A and B are shown apart, each in its own frame.
Chain A
């Protein structure tokens, strides 16, 4: 059975472990340093192990907090993704307007060829226009 935990509780646990380690470390610094050894080396090593374990558990609680926060981020991220898709559609529409303008140019070009009564130019204009419409 998994423990029901919120991300804030996981963060508090991480902080508590780190704060506890800091207190133990201060005790070690005051009682075992290059000038004096108020505690034995074996005691120092035991406290060292304790500090390492506290830091390890603090890091573990952070992983849990991040995991819980990520779960909460899924829904807004999905919603934003939908909006991005819409924005891309709008950009595409704007690019389609460019195609429309090109097609108008093609039509004018065709009209110009018809007025000039140039059969070859008419065929070329029709082909160009067809190409622009298909694009």
Chain B
């Protein structure tokens, strides 16, 4: 009898040891999940696309407003105005088409971040409800067995732990696989042409609008001899338009920060894909999350 008890104790100790070893080999994906979730949230601010699409409409309006001020426009002024109006109209149409493609590309980035967040989430392998149900069933089966064959609470707990412990490494392996496959196309998008569009084209477009604002309002101030009240009003309107322009520029800069953040973060994940809970990586990811939160705040305010 004594030896039977000793054997049971040894078996229990061995089972505990196995569980500890298995648990130690589990990768904690919390930082990966937190970073990808925040990246998903940040990448969804695609209001900068709308700003880009509407720029020709805003430029066209300045052109129309100025043209109306000519008391008797010359033939050359009329024909240049018509030419510009045509270019603005065709640009507005073209940009509407481009916006669909741009939104699609941005949503591919968001979708990927969403998939990575879901894949690395604790909830994805949280089968506690299922395990609880299973344990209840085992308990009820145990109650119907003879006293000698009763299943202990420890055993029931171990069943749940084993299922969880075995699934965690499998989940980490899947996350690693996805990161490995996605890095090249994601970096091509984020650090390549998409970055160029946001960094150069969106910013340059707003700089063009800034020039147009100065041109239009300076011409208004130089038109004849406006009263000081009129001058004040024009100056104020110019400031309002300038502020709107600079808020849009801020949003573009913040979004560029988001793209760079996602690009850097994913590269770090790729470089550490064999140890996704590396202390340094976790620290870096949380720093990137803090930066993303700041960029989200700017985007929320500007758009």
Q: Contact: A87 with B119, CB < 8 Å?
A: yes
Residues of B within 8 A of A80 (CB): 108-109, 112, 182, 185-186, 189
Most buried by B among A32, A48, A73, A97: A73
Question: Could you tell me the distance between the alpha carbons of A48 and B216 in the complex, rounded to whole angstroms?
Answer: 9
Query: Helix, strand, loop or mixed for chain A's interface?
Result: helix
Q: Contact: A52 with B84, CB < 8 Å?
A: yes
Question: Could you tell me the distance between the alpha carbons of A98 and B189 in the complex, rounded to whole angstroms?
Answer: 35
Given A86-B178, A108-B141, check contact A81 B108 (CB 8 Å): yes
Q: Contact: B130 with A73, CB < 8 Å?
A: no
Given A63-B98, A66-B201, check contact A87 B115 (CB 8 Å): yes
Whether a CB of chain A sits under 8 angstroms from the CB of B260 is no
Q: Convert B185-203 into 0s and 1s, putting 1 for each residue whose CB lies closer than 8 angstroms to a CB of A.
A: 1101100111011001100
Question: Could you tell me the distance between the alpha carbons of A125 and B130 in the complex, rounded to whole angstroms?
Answer: 16
Given A32-B222, A67-B98, check contact A72 B108 (CB 8 Å): no
B-facing residues in A81-101 (Cβ within 8 Å): 81, 83-84, 86-88, 90-91, 94, 97-98, 101
Residue in B130, B181, B184 whose CB lies within 8 Å of A102: B130
Question: Could you tell me the distance between the alpha carbons of A45 and B77 in the complex, rounded to whole angstroms?
Answer: 9
Residue in B80, B144, B174 whose CB lies within 8 Å of A90: B174
Whether a CB of chain A sits under 8 angstroms from the CB of B271 is no
Residues of B within 8 A of A14 (CB): 201, 204, 208
Residue in A59, A72, A73, A91 whose CB lies within 8 Å of B91: A59
Residues of B within 8 A of A15 (CB): 204
Q: Contact: B95 with A63, CB < 8 Å?
A: yes
Query: Helix, strand, loop or mixed for chain B's interface?
Result: helix
Whether a CB of chain A sits under 8 angstroms from the CB of B63 is yes
Residue in A33, A52, A94, A97 whose CB lies within 8 Å of B215: A52
Q: How many residues of A contact B (CB 8 A)?
A: 61
Question: Could you tell me the distance between the alpha carbons of A38 and B95 in the complex, rounded to whole angstroms?
Answer: 41
Whether a CB of chain A sits under 8 angstroms from the CB of B101 is yes
Q: How far does the Cβ of B157 sit from chain A's closest Cβ, in whole Å?
A: 15
Residues of A within 8 A of B56 (CB): 59, 63
Q: Contact: B125 with A94, CB < 8 Å?
A: yes
Whether a CB of chain B sits under 8 angstroms from the CB of A123 is no
Q: Contact: B87 with A115, CB < 8 Å?
A: no
Q: Contact: A59 with B205, CB < 8 Å?
A: yes
Q: A48-B66, A63-B98, A84-B108 are in contact. List 17 more A-B contacts (CB 8 A).
A: A14-B208, A25-B218, A52-B212, A56-B63, A59-B56, A59-B205, A65-B201, A69-B196, A70-B197, A72-B192, A73-B105, A77-B108, A80-B189, A87-B119, A101-B133, A106-B137, A108-B141
